[in-house]
Chain A
Amino acid sequence: MNEYNFAYLDEQTKRMIRRAILKGLAIPGYQVPFASREMPMPYGWGTGGVQVSAATLTPDDTLKVIDQGADDTTNAVSIRKFFERTAGIETTEETEKATVIQTRHRIPEQKLREDQILVYQVPIPEPLRFLEPRETETRKMHSLEEYGLMHVKLYEDISQHGQIATSYAYPVRVSERYVMDPSPIPKFDNPKLEMDAIQLFGAGREQRIYAVPPHTKLVSLDFEDYPFEASKADHACDLCGAQDSYLDELITDDQGGRMFVCSDTDYCRCRREAGHIGRLGVPAQ
């Protein structure tokens, strides 16, 4: 096939990562340290997610990679190519056909199945990091379930903005135990975290892996008088007319023109092919 070992990493490394993944699945939300390897891409480009994907993939798998919901952005294209070349596996842009989906900053709109695995790229796995800079202290707080500080952040949001202004990387409590950073997904996606598929989180630079098994209970943190709200732009998609999907706002000219489109490109394409047309859309060929 080629001179790379299957999926780039050597077998010992993959075993080590799989062990971390299994431990993560056994303790949902717990950050498992692992010996992150140098990958042929810069930190911040998904080195953690790529390692988890590499350890998860089998020759029969079909891989989909999305970046902010899109299949055709630099990050997604280059990671897809990376695995095409080093693993020789099938890749796809269709959520339906994928068995492993590596994602950055989004959960696909389409409901995932039990036989699918969602791999997240995580920049900063520690939800308490910006409140308590000492790693020794945050670990202790996790082990003793001292999570009052997380609410201090939400308190600050409300006191400054009149509402919980945290709109991405919104902290969740996993199985009534660990507080977890769900990676920088919009809080619109938080309710979707309770899903049928396995979710794996890899942080390469920070050398942490964590996981959420299927059907796990996740609660987004909030206050009694300021409950959690999954928010999105108050529009319909201008291409496919979807009311229920997360939207990107695009500036189209310097005259104030703008349009809202689904951030999940595959979802948008499927809808247009099924005949839905938005405000600025054209029928699919």
Chain B
Amino acid sequence: MTPLLQVRDISKHYGARIGCTDVGFDLYPGEVMGIVGESGSGKSTLLNCLAGHLPPDRGEVIFDTRADGPVDTVTMSEPARRMLARTDWAFVHQHARDGLRMTVSAGGNIGERLMAVGTRHYGDIRSRATDWLERVEIDENRIDDRPSAFSGGMQQRLQIARNLVTGPRLVFMDEPTGGLDVSVQARLLDLVRGLVREMGLSALIVTHDLAVVRLLADRLMVMKDGHVVEAGLTDQVLDDPQHGYTQLLVSSVLQV
């Protein structure tokens, strides 16, 4: 089977400081990979490099496109990369405000990607938006409300709906549960897990919350100071951490 995403030797430096360095892995269709580490360990830099928001200094990000098979997205043309970013890729920001248009209604937010790829039938867009609101458990009579009238958890669910409406194959998530209270977190995780299974999505989830990866991720990468210090199956890494830092991380989790 061809990996959906092959990452080779990605490095990004901010001047003399290391963002992330020598990161490489394969992600297969339907697989969910977690990236954990403390603040400043290079998780978000890595994710932004992979999603094309930051140009890496070195390395390849090879994505298995529908049309042309595996293509290096770092060197591909910008229009093609942006096209990919609004069709086959999705990016869920930590703060829903970064990923949503706050001055546009929920329906418009969900419809934006559809219109960006050429849908020009209002009725179709409207019914797809209604359908997706239902799938992310937002009441359909909120369709014409602006996201600013939504709670944090609803905003995050709306952001997910807005991203998944074009049926992407790869989802990048940057701390999707950050800033949400635990019960809302639990519902969101439940929702994401359901969508990932149902749509056969592959996902890369950056988080510092080990519970999130335990629940969602098949595989795990642990980062420290820009380096990957440990990688493996989630349960294996969390239950039998080998690297000193991973041991520290696992033992730092508060027990209730």
Show the binding face of A for B, using Cβ within 8 Å.
Answer: 131, 144, 146, 148-149, 151-152, 155-156, 158-160, 222-226
Complex interface bits, B80-94 against A, C-beta within 8 A gives 1, otherwise 0: 001000000000000
Q: Is the interface of B mostly helix, strand, loop or mixed?
A: helix
Contact check, B122 vs A158: say whether CB atoms are below 8 A apart.
yes
Contact check, B144 vs A159: say whether CB atoms are below 8 A apart.
yes
CB distance from A248 to the nearest CB of B (A): 31
Contact check, B121 vs A155: say whether CB atoms are below 8 A apart.
no
B35 near A: Cβ within 8 Å?
no
With A158-B122, A224-B120 as known contacts, state yes or no: A148 contacts B105, CB within 8 Å: no
Among A156, A158, A159, A222, max chain B CB count under 10 A is at A159
Among A148, A149, A223, A225, max chain B CB count under 10 A is at A148
Q: Which 3 A-B residue pairs are closest in the complex by CB-CB distance?
A: A148-B116, A151-B115, A148-B115
Contact check, B108 vs A155: say whether CB atoms are below 8 A apart.
yes
Contact check, B78 vs A146: say whether CB atoms are below 8 A apart.
no
Contact check, A156 vs B108: say whether CB atoms are below 8 A apart.
yes
Contact check, B125 vs A155: say whether CB atoms are below 8 A apart.
yes
CB distance from A160 to the nearest CB of B (A): 7
A-B contact count (CB 8 A): 53
Count how many chain B residues have C-beta atoms less than 8 Å from C-beta atoms of the other chain. 23
Contact check, B108 vs A226: say whether CB atoms are below 8 A apart.
no
**Which listed residue (A146, A159, A222, A224) contacts B108, Cβ 8 A?**
A159
* Chain A neighbourhood of B101, CB < 8 A: 131, 152
Show the binding face of B for A, using Cβ within 8 Å.
Answer: 78-79, 82, 101, 104-105, 107-108, 111-113, 115-118, 120-123, 125-126, 143-144
**Which listed residue (A149, A156, A223, A226) contacts B116, Cβ 8 A?**
A149
Contact check, B120 vs A152: say whether CB atoms are below 8 A apart.
no
**Which listed residue (A144, A223, A224) contacts B82, Cβ 8 A?**
A144
With A152-B108, A152-B115 as known contacts, state yes or no: A159 contacts B120, CB within 8 Å: no
With A223-B122, A225-B121 as known contacts, state yes or no: A159 contacts B143, CB within 8 Å: yes
Contact check, B78 vs A144: say whether CB atoms are below 8 A apart.
yes
Contact check, A225 vs B112: say whether CB atoms are below 8 A apart.
no
* Chain B neighbourhood of A158, CB < 8 A: 122
Please measure, in the bound complex, the distance between the C-alpha atom of A148 and the C-alpha atom of B115, giving whole angstroms.
5
